[in-house]
Every structure is written in structure tokens, then in C-alpha cells.
Amino acid sequence: MDSILDGDVQTVFENKDLVDSSTIVDQDRIYGRDEQLAAEARAFRDTLDGERPPDLLLYGPSGTGKTLTVKAVANKVKERAQESGIEFDFVAVNFKTMESHTLDRAVWKLGHQTARKAGVVWDVPRSGVSTDMKYTRLYEIVDDHFDSLVFILDEIDALTGSTGADEPAYSRLLYSLSRVMSEQHVDTQLSTVVVTNYPKFRENLDSRTDSSYNPNGIHFSDYDANELIEILERRRDAFKDDALEDGVIEIVAAYGAQNEGDARRAIDLLRDAGEIANRAGDPVVTQDHVRSANDSVVKNRVLEIVGGMSVQKKLSLYAAALVAKENEGAAPSPVVYDIYKILCEGSDMEIYTQETVNSHINKAGTYGVLESERVSGGFKSGVHLVFKFTEPVGAVLDTLSADERLQEIPAKELGEVVKRRLRD
């Protein structure tokens, strides 16, 4: 233990921060996003002219460089602004990671992060103080400490708010932030950058918000395997010379490409492979280390998501996964519901309505296990949902099967039933 605490441990890493996907890197380490970087730079350029940058909406799949690029550009603008005597900064909040997805908690979090950037104490308690008072203190800090400020609102669609509310919490937040200057709460040039995987979140905006919130949209597409190789090559110096076996970057990129071109996960996978090599005392990261890391990541991610679900939610998701397994990852909701009813009958469980089952499955979608879209025609049901898994279906089924209440499910026989229902 003393040798570990003293740092006398062999490591494959030279600069581990470079394979931390949360690290803000220089633009020369970002590949395949020249068009997006240029659009963001043009928008932020207004800050250096003393003008308010336009609001931006960055949209596209997970891990395609949305947050990475905008933070890199904002960091560069901050350096230029300081040279010109302009007090500019950016405050980034990821709403998906908050323990509560209410407007009140979002405003508190924005205030807390803004106070940190301003170097002042955020003296507002989480509870016992109205949301309006939190807004007031937030605006005081903004006005006192910044000439220009950008709020980077990451995964804003997670900010759903209370069930049954007239509009989602993110709609109310965007309305307030889009009106803050016109209503003279601050003299600071205040802008927002919304980052989302689901641009359709705008369909749920209140009409007032939709009228006042008019961002410039910037689209980010999936990376392919070759682009992921280039991205990872730009972080090779995170490792010591000769610490990566030939083919390691290529296999990591291949896994990333299978995962919808997610560069963030690819970078994390490369780091995890290095950590496995360190734990084994190996001086070189091998392809076997990468495979072990990938297996562990998939199982842990799925286990974390589905492990705490109620049995009804697990049955709903299990039915969807069984259908998706036989249908190239896609599960039409009418077929899913048929299989769900068979599962409930075999387990002597109460059968819920199809609407409830769809809701249970969509809940898994909020954690990134799957996505859903509404389609029309087919399956004798008119308009229906189709669930498309973003996590490996096999890993989902294996994780769900670990629950003793689901261990007796005859998955093979049900697979044949699924095939027949899909043909009908």
C-alpha cells in the first residue's frame, strides 16, 4: 500500500486528462467539426465587439462534439476578451445529472455555478427560498461581475419539471433567460447555448417562449469509424510512448462506431482500457484490454439504468428487448404489448394498459437505453410507437434476467412467438 500511496506504480498514462471526455481541449485536437466550430466562433465573435452573441441550439446524437466544441470556442473567446478588458465567461450546467429536474433546482444550480465563476459565495439555500428570489440573486451576480455571459444549457430536455404542469420546466427557464435583458434585470450581454440530443423538445415550448426564444441552429452528425480514429489519434499523447499496441485505437473506434459514432464513449473506453492495463501491471494497452473494458462498460451502464426498476417496468422493457432482438433492434409497440401480456400471464402479474407499458418503456429512454418514434401504418394498429435500442439488446436482456422474478422466462420460445407476431 505504501508504494501505491507514494506513487511508485507503473502506469501507461503520460497525461490522463487527455482521455477524460470532460476535459476542455484545444481546437487542434477536435476533428471533423470545422463547420460547427466556425459557426460557433462567428456567433461568439459579437462578444469581442461589445455586442450580445445570438442564442445557439446545438443538436445531434450523443458524443458528437456539441459540448466539446462550444466550450473550446468559449474558452478561446474568454482569452481574447481578457486581452481587450472585457469580462466574459461561460457557465455550463448539465441538467440530466441533477438529482431533481425542477425549475427551482435548475435556477439554483445556475446560480451556484455562476457564483463560482464570479468568485463569490452563493448564499442561497436549496430550499426555503422562492424561485423568484433565486433568480434575483443570480441576476445580481451576473450584473455585478460580467460584461458578457453565456449559459451553456446541456441536455436541457431532461428538465421536465413537475408531472401535470402546463409546460415543461425548460420552457419556463428559456422564457426567463430570453427576456432577462429586455425586462432590464441585467445590463450584461446574456446569451444561451442549448445542447440537446432531441431537437424536437421545441415542440413542447409554450407559445410565449417559442416567440421570444429564436436560436441559431447548428447540427452535429454521427462520427464514422475513420473520424473516430482521427479523434483518438489526437489524444494518443495521453499515453506514454509505445504504450498502445497496434490496432488498439482502431478497435476502440470500431466500438464507438457501433455505438452510433459516440466519440465521448470512445474516449472513455480508451481510458478504461488503460486503467485495466495499469491494474494488471501491464506496460502496454492491448486489444484484449479494450475488449474487457467494453464488456465492463456495457454491463455496468445497463445495470445502473435498469437495476433499480420496478418489476412492471422490467417486464415492459424485457418485452421490448425480446421484440427488438428479433427485429434488428426495433420494437413496434403493438407487438411489444402482446409479448408483455404473455410475460405477465406466465408470471401471474397484473396486466397494465398499453399506454402504461409504453410509458414504462419510454422511461428507459430518458436514461439512454432506447429511443422511440411515432409511426403510422402496419401491425393493424394505425399510429403506434417504435422503440429503437441504443444499448446492446443482449446486454439489456442479460441484465434483466439477473432478476430472480424474470429468470424463468422462456426467452427462446418467446422469440418464436415474436417472429410470428412480426409477420402477422
CATH of the domain at 278: 1.10.8.60
Q: State the pLDDT at residue 399.
A: 82
Is 294 found in the same domain as 155? no
Residue 130 CB neighbour total at 10 angstroms: 10
Residue 56 shares a structural domain with residue 135: yes
pTM of this structure: 0.71
Q: Please, which residues have CB within 8 angstroms of residue 377's CB and are 6 or more apart in sequence?
A: none
Can you give the pLDDT at residue 1?
A: 42
299 and 313 share a domain?
no
Q: Are residues 49 and 163 in the same domain?
A: yes
Does 67 show up as a binding residue in the annotation? yes
- Half-sphere exposure of 371 toward its Cβ, with a 13 Å CA cutoff? 8
Q: Which helix (H) or strand (E) holds 373?
A: strand 370-375
pLDDT at 5: 43
CATH number for the domain that contains residue 141 = 3.40.50.300
E strand or H helix at 288: helix 287-306
Are the beta carbons of 321 and 397 closer than 8 angstroms? yes
Q: How far apart are CA 39 and CA 216, in angstroms?
A: 9
| 13 domain residue, yes or no | no
**With a cut of 50, which residues of the chain have pLDDT below it?**
1, 3-5, 378-380
Report helix, strand or coil for 203.
helix
68 is in an annotated binding site: yes
SS3 92: strand
Q: Are residues 215 and 233 in the same domain?
A: no
- Is residue 405 in a domain? yes
Strands 88-94 and 148-154, how do they pair?
parallel
The answer to the question of residue 374 being in a domain is yes
The answer to whether position 22 is within a domain reads no
Residue 355, domain CATH = 1.10.10.10
**Spatial CB neighbours of 423, under 8 Å, sequence gap ≥ 6:** none
Of 416, 366, 368, 374, whose CA–CA distance to 389 is shortest? 368
Euclidean distance between CA atoms 64 and 79, whole angstroms: 25
Q: Please say which residue of 219, 246, 264 terminates a domain.
A: 219
192 is in an annotated binding site: no
The answer to whether residues 414 and 286 belong to one domain is: no
* Per-residue pLDDT tens digits for 276-298: 999 999 999 999 999 999 888 76
Same domain for 97 and 214, yes or no, is yes
Residues 44 and 191 in one domain: yes
21 occurs within a structural domain = no
Could you tell me if 289 and 184 lie in one domain? no
pLDDT for 392: 80
Among 219, 243, 270, the domain boundary falls at: 219
Q: Is 56 annotated as a binding residue?
A: no
State the pLDDT at residue 7: 54
Contact 230, 250 (CB under 8 A): no
Instruction: Report yes or no on 200 lying in a domain.
Output: yes
Domain assignment of residue 102, yes or no: yes
208 and 246 fall within a common domain: no
Residue 297 resides in a domain: yes
Are residues 53 and 39 in contact, defined by beta-carbon separation less than 8 angstroms? no
Any binding-site annotation on 66? yes
Structural domain harbouring 85: 33-219
For residue 227, what is the enclosing H or E element? helix 225-233
* pLDDT score at 380: 47
**Amino acid 379: pLDDT:** 42
What pLDDT sits at residue 378? 45
244 dihedral zone (left: phi>0; alpha: psi -120 to 50; beta): beta
Domain boundary among 263, 289, 304: 304
Please count the structural domains in the chain: 3
Residues 213 and 232 occupy one common structural domain: no
* Residues 228 and 171 placed together within one structural domain of the fold: no
Count of CB atoms situated within 10 Å of the CB of 83: 9
Number of residues that make up the chain: 424
pLDDT the model gives residue 367: 66
d(CA 294, CA 272): 8
Angle at CA of residue 171, ends 165 and 174, nearest 5° = 145
- SS3 at position 100: coil
